[in-house]
Structure formats: structure tokens, C-alpha cells
Chains A and B, each alone.
Chain A
Amino acid sequence: MLEGIMTGIATALTLSNLSWVVFGCIAGTFIGMIPGLGPISAIALMIPISYSLDPAGGLIMMAGVYYGAVFGGSTSAILINAPGVASTVASSFDGYPLARSGKAGKALAIAAYASFFGGTFGAIMLMFFASTLALLALQIQSPEYAALILFAMTSIVVFAQPGQRFPSAVTLLLGLMLGTVGTDQLGGVQRFTFNQIDLTDGIHFVLLVMSTFALAEAFRLFIAQSPRSEQKVSLRDLKLAKSEVRKLTPVAGRSALLGFVVGVMPGAGATLASFFAYDLEKQIGDGSLEAGLTAPEAANNAASTGSFVPLLSLGIPGSGTSAVLLGVMLAYGLQPGPTLIVEQPEVFWGVIISMYVGNLLLLLLNLPLIPYLARLINLPTKVLLPLVIGFSLIGVFLTTFSVFDLALMLGFALAAGLLRAYGFPLAPLLLGFIMSGLFEENLRRALMLSSGELSYLLDRPITLFILIACLLICCIPLWNRRSA
């Protein structure tokens, strides 16, 4: 192990590999900041460059692009309520209100610190527990996934503001329904596609998130025309008070741990992790916006590092992004999996060690940018709104290249605006949409395995545990009411 770490340090700290991690992080964080372009597009864009490098350098760069994009991805979620990827949706819940309330610089700084914390924590965990945790990934099967997703959906409804529970449940169900559009994951049947080729892959996530979050918010701002105070953002905002650091460090700590463990499980790692961390913080934390932003940011960065566990130690991609990374590794003739650490120790350890460098670098790179980025929020509404609308439309068009999708997007934005106007929260809609396919797929597979017996779910200890946890959290509101 120590020998491996030394090999890693020797590999990661060569001049050329250091410059590749710098390049990867810069490219990743800037691409990640563009709404609609997430880690997966960032990595794909870098594939041609990676071909010209040696395996260690190339992977170090690609890993840098990956966590760089996760790092930068929260910027648009916080500033203009336009989370470009699923894993940053939870960051916009408290991050955007914080930025609107005159603390844009502080919000971005908190996100940067939390990301740094999560990423570094993830790298430490990865270094020490990669092979042990790989076994965890093997314990989680379809019924466990189904139960875990049920838990995520239950908690977003239960932990909503007391008056918001029913509306949350309604929008959650709406999201689940929207998720069924497209080709059925298991049977290959077309559902609600009306013979439109644009719908056969379902509604694109970026489309839904841009219309329900960014566009709907832009419409609201347009109608409300709320007078806003000018925000002054200076480098001083980047310094958190000692009391805040003391308050937020444990939040980041527990969120990062939760995030890493959830991230190890192949599937919707980073997204589930950020939702879980947010919900957990709303329950046991002090409920401040700062904590609500720290939690998902620390969690999603730790989770994206966690997704390297199944990739490096089992050779199995846990997410779309790591599937692309796997493709890159195969292109180098590397065989990711149990043999990688033995046959190519300089790649395995080099990538892990470079993550420390990369995360530190991302922090140093992002902090000085914050005052400039945060000024965006000071733009007059008549400049900001067209920018937001333009960015959202471009973000969607860049991912799908379909005019049909733009029309669909405007329709969703109008519907979302109406829902919001009548007090329906939209976060559960997004969660429902993200989880819909995954939930259905895993539940149906679990039922196929058991020939339709629901009791199968109860025969498995982990599943049973999660289901009981679901029931227990449903009792929390009852108990609160009684004590109040």
C-alpha cells in the first residue's frame, strides 16, 4: 500500500502529469460551468486529446476533467437556478435563494469549499478503501436499489415543509409519469411517444431541468420585477467566519461520507447522494441555507470520486460518465478491474494521488473567479433574463440538436410556471423524473427474479432494513404533530 502510494506520488508529480491535471481541471471546470454541458460532455470533448497521451497522463487528465466539471457544475445552479446536471439539482435548492438574498459570492465560496472538502475526502477514502468498498457494490442488487430509491422519494415528501407535503407528493408523481415517456427499459416497448422519433429516448433531463428550474424562474422574475439591491462582491466574501467554519465542517464531513458510500453503488450515485445529504441536513442540521448548500455539494463531489471505486477495482462503470472513462481506459489497452492495481500500479495510484492535487488546484482556481462570476447576478433583469433564457435554450440544443425539444421545453416551462404559481414545489418533480426509469427498472427486475412475489423484497435483509426506514420516516410527521 505504502509502496503504491509512493508510486502514485512519483507518477502524479512529474512535470508533464502535473500539467495534465492542471489542464484537465481547467477544461473540466469551465465546460462544467456551461449549463447543459456536464461531466459526460466534458470528458467526451477531451477524448481526442487523451489519445495522444500515455495512459497515466491521459487518465489523470480525464479524471481531472471529470471532477473539475462536477466542481464547476454548481455555478449555474447557484447563480441562475439552472442546474446543468442531475447531481447539482439539490445544490440549487438552497444555493439559489442564498445567492438571491445578496450573498452570491458567499454561496459560490461555500460551494467551492464544500466541493474541495468532498473531493479530497473522497480521494482519501478511495486510497484506503477502494478494494474493500468494491465488495459493497456487489451487495447491492435490484431489490436494494428499488428500496433505496423508494426511500429517496419518501424522504423528499416527508421532509417537505409541513404544508407542502401534499403538493410535493403530487409533483413527485407527475415527475414519475414524465419519466415513463420513451422506450421501456426492459421490454423495449414505446410508451407515450406518439410515433415521434424525438420522444423515443424519452424526455431529456437537461430539457426538463432547464424548463422547470431556469426558464420558470426567469418567467417569474419577469412577472414579479422585484426591486433588487446591488450586491457588492469582493474577495472578502470568500472568507468564512470562524463560527461558520465550525458549523459547516461537520455538515461537510457527514455529507461527504454519505456521498462517498452512495457514490460507490453503481447507478445514480452522485444524484441520490446529493438528495440524501440535503434531506439529512434539513432534518438534523440547523436548517440554514449555508448548511443546505454545503451538504449536497460535499456529497456530490465525494460521490463522483466514489464512482471510481467500481471502475478501478471491478472494471465496471457505475455511471454514464465512468462508462466513457472505461472506454478511454480500454483505448489505452488498460484492463480496469482487479488486476489493474497489480499490473499498472502507476496508473491506479497515479490517478488517485492526482486527485489531491486536482482538488486543491480547483479550489485555488475557482476562488479568484468567484467575484467575477457573482457579478452576473447584479446584471439588470432586462439583461440577465435574456441571458438565462438564451443559455437554457442553447444548453438544451447543444445536447439534443432538436428543434422539437425547444418547443417542448417552452411548453414545460409554461406548465412549470403555473405549478409554481399555485404553490407546487418543482424539486420533487425532478427527483421523480430522474428516479422514474431507475426505480421501475429495478423494481420490475426484482419482481421478475421473484416471479412476481412481493415478499421477495422482504427476504433480503438490506432491502427490509431500507423499507423499515421508509416506514419510520413516515411516522416522523405524526410524532412531530403530537409533540407540538
Chain B
Amino acid sequence: MLKLLVVPYFVALLHICGAAVAADVTDERLHIVIPAGPGGGLDATARAIGRALVSDQEVARVSYENRTGGGGGKAMAYFVESNDSLRDTLLVNSTPLLIRSLQGLFPHSYKDLTPLAGLIADPGVIAVRADSPYQTWADVVLAMKQKPGKLFVGGGSVKGSLDHIILSLLVDKVGIPPRSVRYLPYDGGGKAMLALLSGEVDILVSGLGETLSQQKAGSIVLLGMTAEQANPTFPQVPTFKAQQVDVVFYNWRGLFAPSSTEPEQRDQWITQLSNTVAGEEWQLQLARYGWQPLFLPGDEFVDYLSEQEIMLKAVLLQLGLVR
């Protein structure tokens, strides 16, 4: 019995030793603030890039801090307010950062941070049940136009948030006013998926990462994704662009440094991240989670953010959710 107990501790100990060995190469430390609870997508992203940075010996040790609350607002407030006193500390964030600061849910925006790099990007998808009468996006659009207000679209977050915005971008492009579409919010993508499977809603708007497993299982069909081009690993999911609906939208996840970061320090971080995303460990992590890479270093990331902010603002205006 006692022996059995010792084994796991021994394994854990080995890992600690492993980290100590890596420390001989570089003694740089990194601390990542995560504006969400453990176990979610942002948390996984932070831990995956952290592992990759350690494994590629860019840094010696990475620690993580989950700061939940205020829909990410608490972590932002902490990060922006303790600006100067933060050493070797980065913040991981995603598209909702832009949405929430546009809606004024917290006083800070990405401009109060130093964007370092976008790491991964999840396109939005529209899904229906495998036995649905609508088997293409064109079918859905036709039905929405013929019977306005009869189709229900489920999504995993509140009105005016990511899923609702993706839906609004798509319907707006085909001439349906976004406000006329019946969007039903659920508490998380999982419950929204259940609502689709149980037939409570006709259509689901979600992220590619959250729906791919059900698509593989054959219980749902993905009618399209808001990616730039089709992915060779799952060619059966068409892009909306290929269906003459010119919507390209990604939920990015990326890393930010405090706004007081010196340019040299910023460049050093970007170099380290560039090396790491090209490395084997990061590729392994991407494959493990089924993430789509979208590496946008430094200024490219800033440009992307400002473009996306303009796009988001336009949709939110249309939905009447910002003034």
C-alpha cells in the first residue's frame, strides 16, 4: 500500500528535478496572468505556450496565475494598474478583450498593454444537426428570409458577445438585419451544443475547436467556418469565403506585456516567442488541442487588433450594444 502511494510522488518529484535541470541553461523566469479560471481555453493556451517556452529553453521556469472576475476585468485592472512593478510578467488574452472594452464593461483596452504576439486563432462556425433540413448556409439564409423569426440560433455566451457577433457578421453579409435574428444565449459552448443536439435550437454558432469532435462523431454538420482558407486536415468544412460570403473572423489568443515595457525587452520577448512557435513542442501542443496556429508577431498583431476592433465596433453599433 505504502509503496503504491510513493510512486506518484516520485513521478512528481522527477518533474520538479526536470525543471531544475533546465534551469542550468537559462535562469530567466516568466509569470503569466490568466484572466479566466483553470481548465478553460485561455488557461490551456497559457500553459501550452509556457511549456513550449521551457522546453525550448527560452525561459527556465514559468508560473501561472488565474485571476478571475469581472469577465476578465479584474485581471486587466491588476495588469494595467501594477504596470511598472510587474517583472517578467505577461498577460494572455483573447478577442473578448476587445469586445468588453468596446462595450465599456471595463475601463481599459488593449491600448493600455503592449501586444506581443497572436498565437492561435479559432474561426467561428455555423453548425446544424446531421438530420437538419438545412444542409448548406444558403438553406439557412433562405429559411431566415422566408420565415423571419422562426429559426433559433444558439450560442455559448451572452448577447453581444463573441458567438453573437460571429452570427451577426454572417447574416449582415447576406442582407439580413442582425437584430432580427433570434439568438439564444447559453451558459457555455457545451450547453449550447446540447441544445442543438436536443433540438431546442435549429442552428448553433460556436468556435471550430469546440465543435470539431461532434462533427467527427457525425452528430452535427459544420456549414461553414469564418477562416481565410479551408484546412487540409478537415477539408469537409468549407469556408464562408468559398460560399461567396466574405466574412473572415478569428477568435485570437495572444500574449501581452505591460505598457511600460521597454522596446528592447519587447523585441526580446517577440524573438523568444518566434523561436518557440517554430519549435517542436509548440507544434505538439497545437496538434494536441486541435488549435489553428496564427502567429502574428509584434506590429502585425497590433495592426490585426486595430482592424478587428473597427470590425467589432461596426457590428456592435448595428446590434445597438454600443453607442
Residues of A bordering B, CB below 8 Å: 15-16, 18-20, 22-23, 26, 40, 43-44, 47-49, 51-52, 61, 137-142, 183-188, 190, 197-198, 200-201, 266, 310, 314-317, 323-324, 326-328, 330-333, 335-339, 400-402, 441, 445, 448-449, 451
Whether A185 and B158, one on each chain, are in contact in the complex, defined by CB atoms closer than 8 angstroms, is yes
> When the two chains form their complex, are residues A44 and B4 in contact, meaning their CB atoms are under 8 A apart?
no
- The answer to whether A315 touches B191 (Cβ under 8 A) is no
A315 proximity list for chain B (CB < 8 A): 213-214, 217
How many residues of chain B get a CB closer than 8 Å to chain A's CBs?
60
Complex: how many Å from CA A18 to CA B3? 11
* CB-based contact B39/A43 at 8 Å: yes
What's the minimum C-beta distance from B154 to chain A, rounded to whole angstroms? 9
Q: Which residues does chain B contribute within 8 Å of A23, judged by CB atoms?
A: 5, 7-9
Q: At the interface, yes or no: B289 with Cβ under 8 Å from chain A?
A: yes
Least CB distance from B100 to A in Å reads 9
Q: What residue of chain A has the Cβ atom nearest to residue B191's Cβ?
A: A266
Q: What residue of chain A has the Cβ atom nearest to residue B152's Cβ?
A: A449
B90 to chain A, nearest CB (A): 18
Task: Name the B residues within 8 Å of A314 (CB-CB).
Answer: 194, 197
Write the nearest CB–CB distance from A214 to chain B, whole angstroms.
22
Bound CA–CA A18/B69 (angstroms) = 38
Q: A20 CA to B105 CA in the complex, in Å?
A: 43
The interface residues of chain A lying within 8 Å CB-to-CB of B47 are 47-48
Looking at B133-141, B179-187, B246-254, B307-315, the stretch in contact with chain A turns out to be B179-187
Q: Please give the distance in Å from B198's CB to the nearest CB on chain A.
A: 4
Q: Flag if A333 contacts B287 (CB, 8 Å).
A: yes
B185 touches A337 (CB 8 A): no
- Contact between A316 and B193, CB atoms less than 8 A apart: yes
Is B110 an interface residue when CB atoms closer than 8 A count as contact? no
By secondary structure, the A interface counts as: helix
- Nearest 10 CB-CB pairings of A with B: A324-B39, A44-B38, A188-B158, A23-B8, A335-B213, A197-B70, A19-B4, A138-B198, A19-B7, A327-B39
Scan residues 154-188 of chain B and give those whose CB is less than 8 A from a CB of chain A.
158-161, 182, 184-188
Q: Nearest chain B CB to A463's CB is how many angstroms away?
A: 13
- Asked if B290 is at the interface (CB within 8 A of a chain A CB), the reply is yes
A-B contact pairs, 25 of them (CB 8 A): A15-B4, A16-B7, A19-B4, A22-B8, A23-B9, A47-B39, A138-B197, A141-B195, A142-B195, A183-B71, A187-B159, A188-B161, A197-B69, A198-B69, A200-B70, A201-B68, A316-B190, A317-B188, A324-B39, A326-B190, A333-B287, A335-B216, A338-B219, A448-B184, A449-B200
A338 to B214, CA, bound (A): 9
A331 touches B71 (CB 8 A): no
Which residues of the other chain, B, contact A310 by a CB distance below 8 angstroms?
Answer: 194
Q: Are B71 and A201 in contact (CB under 8 A)?
A: yes
Q: Which of A140, A184, A197 has the most CB of B within 10 A?
A: A197
CA distance A181 to B11 in the complex (A): 45
- Which residue of B is nearest A401, CB measured? B67
User: Measured between C-beta atoms, what is the minimum distance from A364 to chain B in Å?
Assistant: 10
Contact assessment for B105 and A200 in the assembled complex, using a CB-CB cutoff below 8 Å: yes
Query: B148 to chain A: closest CB distance in Å?
Result: 12
Least Cβ distance of A31 to chain B in Å? 13
Chain B, 248-262, CB within 8 A of any chain A CB: none
Instruction: For B200, list chain A residues within 8 Å (CB).
Output: 141-142, 449
Nearest chain B residue, comparing its CB with the CB of A334: B213
Looking at the assembled complex, report how far the CB atom of A339 sits from the nearest CB atom of chain B, in whole angstroms.
Answer: 5
Q: Are A49 and B71 in contact (CB under 8 A)?
A: no
The verdict on A44 contacting B11 (CB below 8 Å), with A197-B74, A197-B106 known, is no
A200–B198 contact, CB under 8 A? no
What residue in chain A is nearest B106 (Cβ atoms)?
A197
A33 to B193 CA separation, bound complex (whole angstroms): 34
Chain B neighbourhood of A401, CB < 8 A: 67
Q: Contacts of A400 on B, CB cut-off 8 Å?
A: 68-69
Q: Taking the complex as formed, is B147 at the interface, i.e. its CB lies under 8 A from any CB of chain A?
A: no
B289:A330 contact, CB within 8 angstroms: yes
In the assembled complex, the Cα of A331 lies from the Cα of B219 at a distance in Å of 22
Max chain B Cβ within 10 angstroms of own Cβ: one of A40, A43, A141, A402 = A141
- Cα-based distance from A190 to B321 in the complex (angstroms): 13
B73 contact from A26, A200, A330, A333, Cβ within 8 A: A200
Residue B15 interfacial (CB < 8 Å): yes
